[in-house]
Structure formats: structure tokens, C-alpha cells
Amino acid sequence: MGIVGAGPAGLTLGNLLRQAGIPCVVLERGTREHIETRPRAGVIEHRAVQMLTRHGLADRLLREADRHGVCEFRVEGRAHEVDYSSLYDGQTHYVYPQQEVVKDLVRAYVNSGGDIRFGVADVALHGIRSAEPALTWTSADGREERLDCSFIAGADGFHGVTRRSIPAGAIQEFSHQHGIEWLSVLAEAPPSTHKVIYALHPDGFAGHMLRSATVSRYYLQVPVEDTVENWPDERVWAELRKRLALRDSDWTLTEGPIIEKRILDMRSHVVEPMNHGNLYLLGDAAHIITPVGAKGMNLALHDAEVLAEALTAYHRAGDETGLAAYSETCLRRVWRAQEFSQWMVFMLHRSPEPFLSRLGQARLEHLIASGSSAGYFAQNYVGP
Ligand code: RFL
């Protein structure tokens, strides 16, 4: 098995295959240090943690992660809590930064004798429709190398090489630009809250996400085609203070040095089917989703679990049922998550069309006031 990409998807797949006794090689463009320090996601769903736990991959996560079952919506300066955990079987989120997940998965894979090559370049796929596909690459020390394998897993993210190796017309790509941009900010500031905050403000969405005791992530909706240069640190804090402000409350925002600022273009993309010949795509290589519902890494972990089970059944008994169903099984969850993410995007953002902004606010007010709407939110946010 050749696996391209050592993100959450590729590393989880590698660990599960090794546990099943299936030989594999993971090829990663970055250095180990780079992938183990790259901050991205931070929220993991209950069922993903259960899967990692079943495979002995969650020991540190279970010791160190905070569990969250309540989030807060702020609208017109008032805070409204939604206890989504009690609305959905007591399931919670685990707050644990993605780079820590990656660190744990690399360590488990390497400690079990797993083969991972960091710093590779020029990865190319050959014969993906044949029974013996191959990968070639240039190693970190400049040697030309080759792996003949039975299957290739494309876990190299949205900009990777594997999806692009599929001939045009063999897969269908569904794309949507949401017409919304976020300024995403990471700061060395302790959280000013015990729960994730989503704020709907006349000037646009603001979010306060949790990462660790010393680092927090914040989001601000900014005009389309805005740039990071327009957002000096003082403006970021002033805007967050304004959009997150509460009436009749002494709540304050704790500030700290900003360590990352980037513009995120809200877009979604799904590839159908998620396989071609003996190439199987997983994680962001097959689908990307806006970060609004915190689903991307969770979908990546689910794909890895489904593919590992399918490959294990094939390896043990020549059973191809799981492989044949791989794409359909994963896509069902992917489209469910895309629908929910779109539902949240619409609810939380200011649109250039005031009518649509008011509809979004009406959706949020319904969520706050209605048990059935809160139930829909809870099921999709922490599950399904
Ligand atoms: P990754 O993590 O992008 O890993 C792909 C790996 O492949 C390597 N690579 C190559 N290697 C060899 N040859 C090539 N040609 C290669 N091209 C690429 C890359 O170096 C990399 O190491 O994909 P994967 O494994 O599918 O994981 C997906 C997640 O990373 C992604 O969905 C999440 O980060 C999305 N996301 C969130 N997801 C959640 O579930 N919960 C969250 O709270 C959450 N917050 C977020 C997020 C994404 C964000 N950004 C950066 C868009 C917050 C943000 C700000």
C-alpha cells in the first residue's frame, strides 16, 4: 500500500493498516517537524475519538483534551447557550489541536516500525487502473525511488498530486464558493470563554474557538478579497471586542500576541466517486468543507477508518465488498456534513443582500427558541 500524505487521514490509515498486518509506506512532502507544528483544526467529534481509542491511538488525547458539550451564540449583544451534548446522547467534542493528533499518530506509526519518508519531492503515480500501480518520488537526499504496490491512498490534501492524476472526465467535481471570507487569527492568549462562541453582528460574523490553555483561535468575517495587510493586530482586537461584546455584562476579551493571521475563502468541493482504479482518495484530497461546523478533520478520520476496514477485509479474505462501497459510504457522511455546514454558513453570516442576512438571523433565533431546531443542530454538530 502506498499512502501519499501524512496528515490526519494518511497517518490514521497507516496506523490502522499496520495493526492489520498490511505493509505500507507513507510519503510526505514536509519535514516531521513541519507537520507536527502546523496549527489547523482543534475540534474532534465523539465518534472519531472512539475510533482512535479502539485502535489505541487516543491515550494522550483522552488525558489532555478538554471535553465540550455547550456552545454559545451571541446576537444583538445577548448570549444564548446551547447544550448540544444533552440534546444528543451526552456526546461531546474533544478540544485537541490537530498538530497534537498528528504528533500522536506519527509516534504510534514510527514506534510500531512503520515506514514513513519525510521531505519527498516529485511524487508521481503510475498505472492506477492496473493491478500493479506504482509511486515514484525523489527522496529527501535526492535519490530517485519507486514503490510497486497493490493500492495507492491519496491523502495529500486539496492541493496534492493524487486527485490530479485521475484522467479528466473519470470523476465529477462539485464546487461551491460561498462568497464569504474569514480572517483567521491564532493568538497566544488564554481563552476568554469555556465554550465556543459564535457571534452574529451587523458588521459580520465573529467566532472565538478554543485550542489550549494558552492559545486561542478567532475568526472575523471580512469583505471578499480583503487582505491580511488590512488587519493590523490592533484592528483585529478592536473588531473582536466590538462583535463579541455583551450588553449588561462585565465579560472581557483576553488579548495576547497574534502568531498567525490568514484569509480563508469559504468554499466547498466534493469529488465523486472517491476512487479511480486502484487509487482511493481520502480526507481533503477528496472533499473540502468550510471550517464553520468543524468537520474537515473528522471526515478525514472517517474516510481512513472506512478504507482501512475495506482493505483489511480484502487482505484477509479477498473480500472486495468494502472497497466497492468505499466511495458511497464516505460520500453519504460527506454530503450530510456539507449540508449542515451550508446551513450554519447561511445562519451566521452577513450577506450583501440584507434580506438574506435577516433570514440567517431568523434561523438563529429559531435555533435558540425551538427544541426541534436545536436538536437538528446538536445531532449534526457533534455527530452524526
Ligand atoms: P492534510 O492535513 O492537508 O494533510 C495532507 C498532507 O499531504 C502532504 N502533501 C504531500 N505529500 C507528498 N507529496 C505531495 N505532492 C503532497 N502534497 C501534499 C501535506 O504536506 C500534508 O501533510 O489533509 P488530511 O489528512 O485530509 O486532513 C484534513 C484536515 O487537515 C482538514 O480537513 C482540517 O484541518 C479542517 N479544519 C477543521 N477540521 C475539523 O474537523 N475541526 C476543526 O476544528 C477544523 N478547523 C480546519 C480548521 C482547517 C482550517 N484551515 C487551515 C483551512 C481550522 C482552519 C483554520
Inform me whether the pLDDT recorded for 211 exceeds 90.
no
Q: Residue 114 to residues 24, 204, 274, 296: CA-CA distances in angstroms?
A: 8, 47, 26, 25
Determine the 3-state secondary structure of 337 from DSSP: helix
DSSP line for 271-336: EESSEETTEEE-GGGTEE--GGGS-HHHHHHHHHHHHHHHHHHHHHH---HHHHHHHHHHHHHHHH
Q: How far is the centre of ligand 1, averaged over its atoms, from the C-alpha of 284 (Å)? A: 6
Maximum CA extent, the chain: 68
Query: Mean pLDDT across the stretch 220-225?
Result: 95
Cell of 233: 493586530
Is the pLDDT at 129 greater than 80? The verdict is yes
90-116 per-position pLDDT tens digit: 999 999 999 999 999 999 999 999 999
Known catalytic residue at 84: no
Q: Is 291 in the active site?
A: yes
Neighbour tally for 21: CB within 10 Å:
9
What is the Cα Rg of the chain in Å?
21
Residue boundaries of the structural domains of the chain: 2-68+93-175+267-344, 178-265+351-382
Confidence (pLDDT) at 32: 98
What b/e readout covers 38-62, taking b as 16+ CB neighbours within 10 angstroms?
A: eebbbbbbbbbbebbeeeebbeebe
Confidence label for 295 from pLDDT (cuts 50, 70 and 90): very high
Give the torsion sign (CA, 158, 164, 170, 176): positive
- Return the pLDDT at 41: 85
Arithmetic mean of pLDDT, 276-298: 96
User: Are 299 and 286 in contact, with CB atoms under 8 Å apart?
Assistant: no
Specify whether 178 is catalytic.
Answer: no
* Dist CA 222 CA 184 (whole Å): 10
At residue 384, the pLDDT reads: 74
Ligand 1 atom closest to the CA of 45, numbered from 1: 40
Please name the amino acid found at residue 245.
A
Nearest-angstrom CA–CA distance, 236 and 234: 5
Within 10 Å of residue 147's Cβ, how many Cβ atoms? 17
Distance CA 216, CA 17 (A): 34
pLDDT value for 370: 84
Q: Is the peptide bond before 384 cis (omega within 30 degrees of 0)?
A: yes
Q: Residue 130 and residue 232: Cα distance in Å, rounded?
A: 53
Positive or negative: CA dihedral 335, 361, 367, 223:
positive
SS3 content of the chain, % helix, strand, coil (to 5): 40, 25, 35
Atom of ligand 1 nearest to the CA of 5: 7
Mean pLDDT on 249-258: 96
| Residue in 84, 94, 198, 280 annotated catalytic | 198
354 is catalytic: no
Strand pairing class (71-75; 197-200): parallel
Give the pLDDT confidence score for residue 298 in this predicted structure.
Answer: 97
Q: How far does residue 7's CA lie from ligand 1's centre (Å)?
A: 6
Residue ranges of alpha helices (H) inside the chain are 8-19, 32-36, 46-54, 59-64, 84-87, 98-111, 233-244, 296-317, 321-348, 354-369, 371-382
| 285 touches 337 (CB < 8 A) | no
> Residue range 82-96: average pLDDT?
95
The answer to whether residue 68 is catalytic is yes
Assign a CATH topology to domain 178-265+351-382.
D-Amino Acid Oxidase; Chain A, domain 2 (3.30.9)
Query: Which residues, judged by CB distance below 6 Å to any ligand atom, belong to the binding site of ligand 1?
Result: 4-10, 27-30, 35, 40-43, 98, 120, 123, 155-157, 160-161, 184, 264, 283-284, 291, 294-298, 300
Q: Which atom of ligand 1 is nearest to the CA of 158?
A: 3
Residue of 8, 46, 68, 88 marked catalytic? 68
Mean pLDDT of 280-305: 96
Q: What is the pLDDT of residue 383?
A: 83
User: What's the 98 CA to ligand 1 centre distance in angstroms?
Assistant: 9
- Give residue 190 CA to ligand 1 midpoint distance, Å: 25
pLDDT tier for residue 371 given thresholds of 50, 70 and 90: confident
Please tell me the residue having the least CA distance from ligand 1 atom 55. 40
Report the chain's mean pLDDT, rounded to a whole number.
96
From the candidate CATH numbers 1.20.1090.10, 3.30.2020.30, 3.50.50.60, 3.30.565.10, the one assigned to the domain spanning 2-68+93-175+267-344? 3.50.50.60
What's the predicted TM-score (pTM) here? 0.95
Cβ neighbours of 250 (radius 10 Å): 5
Cα separation of 144 and 153, whole Å? 20
The closest-lying atom of ligand 1 relative to the alpha carbon of residue 10 is 25
Atom of ligand 1 nearest to the CA of 284: 26
Ligand 1: centre distance to CA 285 (Å): 9
